[in-house]
């Protein structure tokens, strides 16, 4: 009878182990999928920001062609773009400080572009050129895309962060030391939710 009891106990333990392994595999695979979705959306965010950075040289060249345009304003845009290039390589949603630096650099470029567009208001001949209007249309579309991609990233990061803190994922992560760090979010700052002004109608 004792041996039968031992066999039953062993059988129960084996069954529990199998169930735990299957459950753990399911949880792990689900977390990997969510992590991949966040990373893919992060790439979309970077792509949208890169598109804006790629527009800046053409914008600067077009504006520079206008006689007497304010040099300081152009220099601010060029410097802000260079800073974005330096920070972007180190940006990561796994590092809140790096993401903050990335966001600050992008907002600095957005602010420099806004100031540039305000100055452009004094140059009606520049605003009327086809090249400038085309660039403004592209910039407006890019700013909208940036806002959309950032929101989608935050949504994906929230879903992932929620999952890693809920049971049973939190148990497995704690017990088995799985490497699923939380993702940082883009934080809204005062006025940062507004795209640079691209409305060139008369004030």
Asked whether the beta carbons of 84 and 109 are under 8 A apart, the reply is yes
State pLDDT tens for residues 138-163: 999 999 999 999 999 999 999 999 99
- Mean of the per-residue pLDDT values of the chain: 86
Predicted pLDDT at 23 = 82
The closest alpha carbon to 31, from 148, 176, 139, 152, belongs to 176
Question: Taking residues 163-185, what's their average pLDDT?
Answer: 93
Question: Tokens standing for 114?
Answer: 């806004």
| Cβ-proximal residues to 195 (8 Å cutoff; 6+ apart), any chain | 110, 140, 143, 144, 146, 147
| Alpha carbons 51 and 87: distance in angstroms, whole number | 16
Token pair 């060249």 is found at 61
pLDDT greater at residue 94 or residue 21: 94
What's the whole-number mean pLDDT along residues 182-187?
93
Give me the phi and psi of 178, to 5 degrees please. -65, 145
* Residue recorded with tokens 């907002």: 107
Distance CA 24, CA 17 (A): 10
Distance CA 120, CA 103 (A): 26
Q: Give me the residue label for tokens 């060029």.
A: 78
pLDDT (tens digit, 9 = 90+) per residue, 25-70? 899 999 999 999 999 999 999 999 999 999 999 998 888 877 677 8
């Amino acid at each position: 009878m004792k041996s039968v009891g031992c066999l039953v106990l062993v059988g129960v333990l084996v069954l529990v182990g199998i169930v735990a392994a299957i459950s753990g595999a399911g949880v792990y695979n689900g977390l990997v999928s969510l992590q991949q979705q966040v990373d893919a959306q992060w790439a979309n965010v970077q792509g949208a920001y890169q598109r804006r950075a790629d527009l800046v040289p053409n914008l600067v060249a077009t504006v520079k062609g206008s006689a007497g345009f304010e040099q300081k304003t152009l220099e601010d845009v060029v410097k802000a773009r260079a800073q974005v290039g330096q920070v972007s390589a180190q940006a990561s949603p796994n590092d809140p400080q790096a993401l903050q630096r990335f966001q600050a650099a992008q907002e600095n470029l957005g602010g420099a572009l806004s100031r540039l567009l305000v100055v452009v208001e004094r140059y009606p001949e520049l605003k009327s050129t086809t090249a400038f209007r085309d660039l403004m249309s592209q910039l407006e579309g890019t700013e909208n895309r940036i806002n959309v991609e950032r929101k989608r990233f935050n949504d994906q990061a929230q879903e992932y962060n929620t999952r890693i803190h809920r049971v049973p994922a939190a148990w497995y992560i704690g017990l088995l030391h799985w490497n699923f760090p939380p993702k940082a979010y883009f934080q809204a700052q005062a006025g940062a939710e507004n795209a640079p002004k691209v409305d060139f109608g008369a004030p």
